[in-house]
Structures are given as C-alpha cells and as structure tokens.
Amino acid sequence: MLKTPEIRDEIRSSLETLCAHYKIGSVLARPEPLSGGYLHKLWRVETQEGTFVIKKLNPAIMEKRGMAGRLEQAESIGAAFREAGIPAVIPYAHDGSFINEMDDASYLLYPFVSGSLYDLNRVSKSQASQVAGLLARMHTLHLPIQKEVGLHYDIVPEATWRDLIAQCIAKNLSFSQDLERLLPFFLHCNEQHAANLDELNAHLVLGHRDLHPENILWETPDMPHIIDWEYAGLVNPTQEIIGAALEWSGLITRDLDPGCFNAFMDAYKQAGGIITIDPVKAFYTFFANNMLSWTEINITRALGLTSQSTKEQAFAAQMLEEIVLVCDYLQSTWSSLEQILKKVNEAQGSAIP
C-alpha cells in the first residue's frame, strides 16, 4: 500500500508541524508515502502517540467555491455515522474543524487502519453482501444531521463537455476521439438524470455517495472500515445502492457478475433497504453524477488546467483510458444490463412507493 522513496524536506517539515499541532508527538521515522489516493496525497506517520495517516488535499479541488465547507460537512456526516455504529474512519477534529490549513495547503489527520482492498478481479459475494448491509443500515438511520445538509448534484453541463473535448482535440491527447465519440452517451445520461429529478428528490437519505471498492479497507474478511467520506451527503438511496452494486460486482473490471449483483441487492433488501425509484433511472443519475464527474476531473487534470505535475497529468490520462473502456462496455452490454436492473423490481422485497 505504498510507496515512493523520497519526501521533500518541506513536506516532511509540514508533516512534523502538523503532528505538533495535533499534539501527537514528534515524528519517529521518515513518513511513508501511501498509494491509493487518486486525488490526494497520503503519508503514514509514526509518533510517540501511535500511527497515523496524513492526507494532503488536492489544491485544485480545494479551490472550488464552497469546497472547504462541503468537506467539513461531509466529514461531520461520517462522524455521525460512526457514532451510530457504522465502521467509518474519519479524521480528527481540532478546534472544531477537520481541515487544517498550513503552508498554503489543506490537511486531514486520521488514525491508521490496517487493512487490504477488495480484489476487483476475484468477486467475493460475502464481502459485497456485507457492504450492501452497511448501506441499508446507513439509509435507514435518519440521523439528525440530515436537517443541516443541502442537496447537490455534480452534473457536468453540455457546454463544459464540448469545451473540454475541444481542448483535448486541440492538444491531440490520446483519448480525444474516444471522448468525442462518447459525448452523445454522456449527454443522454445527463438528460435522463434531469428528467427524473422530481422522483429522485422525493426520497433522500444521507449516504457515503462514493462507496466503490477502493473506499473500504478490510482488516479481516468480516471487518470492513469505510474510508474517504469527502463526498458524503444527501442521495437517493436507490441511486447509491445501484451504483455500488454495479461497482462491487464487476463494472469497473468490465466483467459484471449478475449473481454477485443480485446477491448485493438481496442483502440490501434483507437488511431493510427499500427500492424507491426505477433502478434504470437510478443508474443514469449514478453514472451522470458519479462517473461523469470523475471523468471531468480527470480531463481537467490531463489538460493541465488543474495540475502542473506531468506525473499527475499522465495518471489522469491513464484514468481516462480506463473510463473509455468502461463506457464502451456499458454501451455494448446495455441490453443485458437493463434487464438485470429491471429484475430488481421483480424480486420479493422491492417496493416503489
């Protein structure tokens, strides 16, 4: 779960200052860079008080209007879920804030959790079902903090898509033609989301909103820890469960296992989860709000609009190549996928009000 050999002196100094700020003692050894963060930078730090993880938030993300407030509220949602018994890993608060601003950068400090990630190439119905059960519990908790949370969708408008794709073509980026080819599909998903807004918003709950396999650490096969709560907020429960079921049953690796998907949905309903909207409609919003917003983030990084690091730009380009493959997979298998989604309503326990 690591590693790069070098840490710049100014970064090491910032991490040591942060540890002093939180009064967790001085750093005992060289901070260990951790891999796994697609947007942010992570280090494992040993101090006299224990082992911790420090996350440096992506500056381009933090520059977005209102983002600091959204992140503070999202972590507060994670904290509320943890208090309610959900195995959430949340950052330490200091002076009433989770985010620590230092040296023109934003940091979060976490307890270190030992664990491994789900093997995307070896589907585990048992682990997927556990996640489904956790989501059902989260969706039925009705936490008091929900009254304080505003609703937002991260839908990329058509004009932005056209402008970004034009910039990719002008720079002759390798994925430019693929994005241009996929644009009608992107816009169709946006249109379907917009057409279903009233139904989506009629039933909202608090959720993680980004519960893909790389946001859970497994200390043991039966002991999950949910990480990365920065996107938590209001969500239609069926939107979240359909997206999670697809990702946990093979969408990301383009080898969807209907058996795992059905097990995921069955576990959700058996734990008290209720289907509140047509799953096909829920899929479109999951795709437009989650997958396409992630696509837009990587396009801006690959173009150098939100990153000056050539390494980060190359990583974003690699992400986009993967996204194109997933989109092509969705389109080529849509007929069978649509049938799988429609069957969710036929199973006992489904109930659309």
| Residue 104: predicted pLDDT | 84
74: left (phi over 0), alpha (psi -120 to 50) or beta: alpha
The span from the CA of 260 to the CA of 272, in Å, is 19
Please list the residues that pair with 29 across neighbouring strands. Answer: none
Per-residue pLDDT reduced to its tens digit, 221-240 = 999 999 999 999 999 999 99
What does the mean pLDDT of the chain come to?
91
- Indicate the pTM of the whole model: 0.92
For the ranges 114-118, 288-292, 312-316, the maximum mean pLDDT occurs at 288-292
Does 347 score more than 70 pLDDT? Answer: no
* CATH topology classification for 9-111: Phosphorylase Kinase; domain 1 (3.30.200)
Does 351 score more than 90 pLDDT? Answer: no
| Residue 36: predicted pLDDT | 63
Does 6 score more than 60 pLDDT? Answer: no
Q: At what angle do helices 334-342 and 279-286 cross, to 10 degrees?
A: 130
Per-residue pLDDT reduced to its tens digit, 150-162 = 999 999 999 999 9
| Residue 263: predicted pLDDT | 94
Per-residue pLDDT reduced to its tens digit, 14-44 = 888 888 888 898 888 888 888 766 788 899 9
Instruction: Tell me the two tokens of residue 116.
Output: 């491994």
Per-residue pLDDT reduced to its tens digit, 267-309 = 999 999 999 999 999 999 999 999 999 999 999 999 999 988 8
Higher pLDDT, 197 or 11: 197
| Residue 37: predicted pLDDT | 64
The span from the CA of 61 to the CA of 74, in Å, is 14
Render the burial of 177-195: b for 16+ CB within 10 Å, e for the rest.
ebbeebeebbbebbebbee
Does 348 score more than 50 pLDDT? Answer: no
Q: Is it true that 9-111 and 125-346 share their CATH fold?
A: no
| Residue 1: predicted pLDDT | 37
Instruction: Assign domain 125-346 one CATH number from 3.40.50.620, 3.30.450.20, 3.90.1200.10, 3.40.50.2300.
Output: 3.90.1200.10
Query: Residue 2 — pLDDT band, cuts 50, 70, 90?
Result: very low
Instruction: Tell me the two tokens of residue 169.
Output: 């073509």
Higher pLDDT, 123 or 267: 267
Does 124 score more than 90 pLDDT? Answer: no
Domain positions in the chain are 9-111, 125-346
Does 352 score more than 60 pLDDT? Answer: no
For the ranges 39-48, 104-113, 122-131, 178-187, the maximum mean pLDDT occurs at 178-187
Residue 300 identity (one-letter amino acid): T
The span from the CA of 299 to the CA of 306, in Å, is 9
Higher pLDDT, 132 or 1: 132
- SS3 track for the chain: CECCCCCCHHHHHHHHHHHHHCCCCCECCCCEEECCCCCCEEEEEEECCEEEEEEECCHHHHCCCCHHHHHHHHHHHHHHHHHCCCCECCCCCECCECCEEECCEEEEEEECCCCECCCCCCCCHHHHHHHHHHHHHHHCCCCHHHHHCCCCCCCCCHHHHHHHHHHHHHCCCCCHHHHHHHHHHHHHHHHHHHHCHHHHHCCCEEECCCCCHHHEEEEECCEEEECCCCCCEEECHHHHHHHHHHHHCCCCCCCCCHHHHHHHHHHHHHCCCCCCCCHHHHHHHHHHHHHHHHHHHHHHHHCCCCCCCHHHHHHHHHHHHHHHHHHHHHHHCHHHHHHHHHHHHHCCCCCCC
